[in-house]
Amino acid sequence: MKEPRWPPGHRLARTRVRPEAANPAASGRVPFSGPRGSGLLPSFAMRIAIAQFDVVVGDLAGNADAVRSAAATATAEAADLLVLPELCLLGYPPRDLLLREEVVPSCERMLETLAAELPLPTLIGTPRRVAGGSRPIANSIALCRGGRVEAWHDKILLPTYDVFDEARWFEPGERPLVFDLETSGGVRRIGVLACEDLWRAEDVGLDRRYDVDPVAAIADVGCDVLVNPSASPFVAGKSTRHRAILADVAARVEAPVVMVNQVGACDDLVFDGGSMIVSPGGGVLGKLERFQPAQATFDLDPGGAGVTDHAAESSVHADRFEAIKLALASYCRRTGHGSVLLGLSGGIDSALVAALAVAALGPDAVLGVLLPSRYSSEGSRSDSRDLAARLGIRAEEMSIEPMHALVTTTLEPVLRVDGAGLEGLADENVQARSRGLLLMALSNARGRMLLSTSNKSELAVGYSTLYGDMCGGYAPIGDLYKTEVFELSRWMNASHRSLGFETPPIPVASIEKPPSAELRPDQRDDESLPDYEVLDAYLRGRIDEARAPESLRAMLGVDADLVRRIERLLAISEFKRYQATIIPKLSPRTFGRGREMPVAARWNPGD
């Protein structure tokens, strides 16, 4: 294999070089002195296979079998090269599994076994041990060819923003891998960059985060095809940015870019696949479906122009639906939960969660439980029954009144000492926790995972009860603001047939009636919270976009008292969010690992 003649110890220049400024003398980079890529001359012919499969973190044997299956298919289709996602052998994100002494050596042994078996050149993402750095592991792409591991690309740019903390585990690489590949059309030069090496945080709107540009280094030495094994988590709207960035990079390197993304979900992260090949002219040479495992072999056409992709972008509602559906199904499968249950209140949150659970798992796997109190309206009970009928799920009913009465009686002599009674917020929380206790008891007795129905607006301002409605093993709508809950519910009803529902799944009454916790007579959410349109606009700006309170006040036209009130609620509810269950990531900033705020802090613009 002929490689670019990188001088010993060569590192990428600490500068961001755009195409028009790619001057080796100006940048300080050492230019490649060998033959440059062919630029896809008319004689170009190459068959490239790409596979996005459901990688399971830690399942070396299962992931290796998926690699073998992909290689067998690619060989049958006469592919010249198979490209697989980032860290597909161990799974992404492995997190602190990497700190266990046996994990990386096990990956290395499995890779050697695979390399000896694979019938065609294959690029596999895997961790490996490296020497000389402060961290002894690299996030690597292995070139397996001729029965052995022939070369490596160690990921250069290690993201440390949002949910990422790769510098915690990995040592950064120094330069890209470029290698020669024998194809039916002759020898072709293949460049390799891993995930962030290409995205550079631009796909999440954090341009200019790095002072190193691996794409510029590839452009300097030239290649016929640039491949990018990725594990890029889903965020609504991100796929459109991916396409634009791939087109820009293809133009810079004057070669097609092959991006292969992971599909599936791991805990809070969803991977939507959507692998694609983009030409220097911005045309799509090939692509795989989103939100499902897929594999295909593509012929890179002479001239490499591709076609303009006129397919309509999926709506943000469709993307969120598919992401939550995939996340919940994957989480249940990987944790061994074949069925779930949830409390049905007659409101919009529990209705949406129930419908999403049915879409992900099927009606037989979902149990709805009505837990009425003296404050529950007959309308709420009938709406819950209507929901169960629409979804085809079993519904059971248990009143919380006996438990509430027992708690009240038990506490009465203790509270009497202080001249107090069980009333107000304390009484409301007893009701919520009575429901949580009964649901968790059913979860244990039936072996069903409890789903939390909390939404992002409630979690933001603390309009939820610890050990009450926050109970559960997974919170499917925890990254949807209340207004987005309504929007997704309406969209699902309008699109019900294409989603597999015989009738609109969510009762109209649950969508149209004023939201209420029904913990006291005639209670409504807007008695305790600002209007959701205003609240969510503020929270989106504050949480997702990190805007300052004064900026949001001016932008939204709200008064200072409201800003102070929201800021105070946001701050004093942090301790609850630390105890919330897993929330699938749908937005730029999700509660959990992607937003790490101190609890016992004094910074509060609401004071």
What is the per-residue pLDDT across 417-428, written as a single tens digit (0 to 9) for each?
Answer: 877 777 888 888
Q: Which helix (H) or strand (E) holds 497?
A: none
Q: How far apart are CA 589 and CA 558, in angstroms?
A: 23
What is the pLDDT at residue 209? 73
Q: Write the DSSP string, 334-381.
A: HHT---EEEEE-SSHHHHHHHHHHHHHH-GGGEEEEE---TT--HHHH
What is the pLDDT at residue 424? 84
- 3-state SS, residue 28: coil
Question: Does residue 396 register a pLDDT over 90?
Answer: yes
- 3-state SS, residue 430: helix
Question: Does residue 13 register a pLDDT over 90?
Answer: no
What is the pLDDT at residue 11? 43
Break the chain into its structural domains and give their ranges.
Answer: 47-300, 318-519+573-578
pLDDT by residue (tens digit) across 98-139? 999 999 999 999 999 999 999 999 999 999 999 877 789 999
What is the pLDDT at residue 301? 64
Contacts of 102-106 spanning 24+ positions with Cβ under 8 A: 103/127, 104/128, 104/129, 104/137, 105/129, 106/60
Q: How far apart are CA 271 and CA 195, in angstroms?
A: 13
118 — phi, psi (to 5°)?
A: -65, 135
What is the pLDDT at residue 273? 97
Q: Which two tokens stand for residue 48?
A: 């490239």
Mean pLDDT over residues 478-503, rounded? Answer: 97
> Which CATH number is correct for 47-300, 3.40.50.360, 3.30.70.270, 3.60.110.10, 3.50.50.60?
3.60.110.10
What is the pLDDT at residue 377? 82
Question: Does residue 479 register a pLDDT over 50?
Answer: yes
Under the banding of pLDDT at 50, 70 and 90, the label for residue 45 is confident
Torsion 193-198-203-208 (CA) sign = positive
> 93 preceded by cis ω (within 30°)?
yes
pLDDT by residue (tens digit) across 335-358? 999 999 999 999 999 999 999 999
Contact 153/192 with Cβ under 8 angstroms?
Answer: yes
DSSP character for 50? E
What is the pLDDT at residue 378? 85
pLDDT by residue (tens digit) across 227-237? 999 999 999 98
Q: Which residue has the higher pLDDT, 28 or 374?
A: 374
Under the banding of pLDDT at 50, 70 and 90, the label for residue 29 is very low
Contact 275/53 with Cβ under 8 angstroms?
Answer: no
Mean pLDDT over residues 353-368, rounded? Answer: 99
Mean pLDDT over residues 128-156, rounded? Answer: 94
Mean pLDDT over residues 504-527, rounded? Answer: 81
Q: Give counts: helices (H), strands (E), the chain.
A: 18, 18
Torsion 431-598-572-513 (CA) sign = negative
Say which residue the tokens 């491949």 belong to: 227
Contact 500/450 with Cβ under 8 angstroms?
Answer: no
Mean pLDDT over residues 590-605, rounded? Answer: 85
Q: Which residues pair with 145 in a beta bridge?
A: 148
Contact 385/395 with Cβ under 8 angstroms?
Answer: yes
Under the banding of pLDDT at 50, 70 and 90, the label for residue 526 is confident
> What is the bridge-based pairing of β-strands 257-261 and 177-183?
unpaired
Question: Does residue 9 register a pLDDT over 50?
Answer: no
Which residues are known to be catalytic? 86, 155, 195
Q: Among 77-86, 138-147, 559-568, 595-604, which is the least confidently predicted range?
A: 595-604
Q: Which two tokens stand for residue 271?
A: 């991977």
> What is the bridge-based pairing of β-strands 81-83 and 366-370?
unpaired
Question: Does residue 251 register a pLDDT over 90?
Answer: yes
**318-519+573-578 CATH fold:** Rossmann fold (3.40.50)
**Percentage of the chain surpassing pLDDT 70?**
88
Round to the nearest angstrom and report the end-to-end CA distance of the chain.
65
Question: Does residue 36 register a pLDDT over 80?
Answer: no
Q: Residue 289 to residues 36, 65, 145, 311, 361: CA-CA distances in angstroms?
A: 33, 22, 28, 12, 21
Q: How far apart are CA 448 and CA 39, in angstroms?
A: 57
Say which residue the tokens 């592919």 belong to: 79
Rounded to 5°, angle at Cα 307 from 301 and 313: 140
Mean pLDDT over residues 7-34, rounded? Answer: 32
Contact 197/210 with Cβ under 8 angstroms?
Answer: no
What is the pLDDT at residue 31? 26
What is the pLDDT at residue 41? 39
DSSP character for 235? -
Under the banding of pLDDT at 50, 70 and 90, the label for residue 304 is low
Q: Which two tokens stand for residue 182?
A: 């024998």
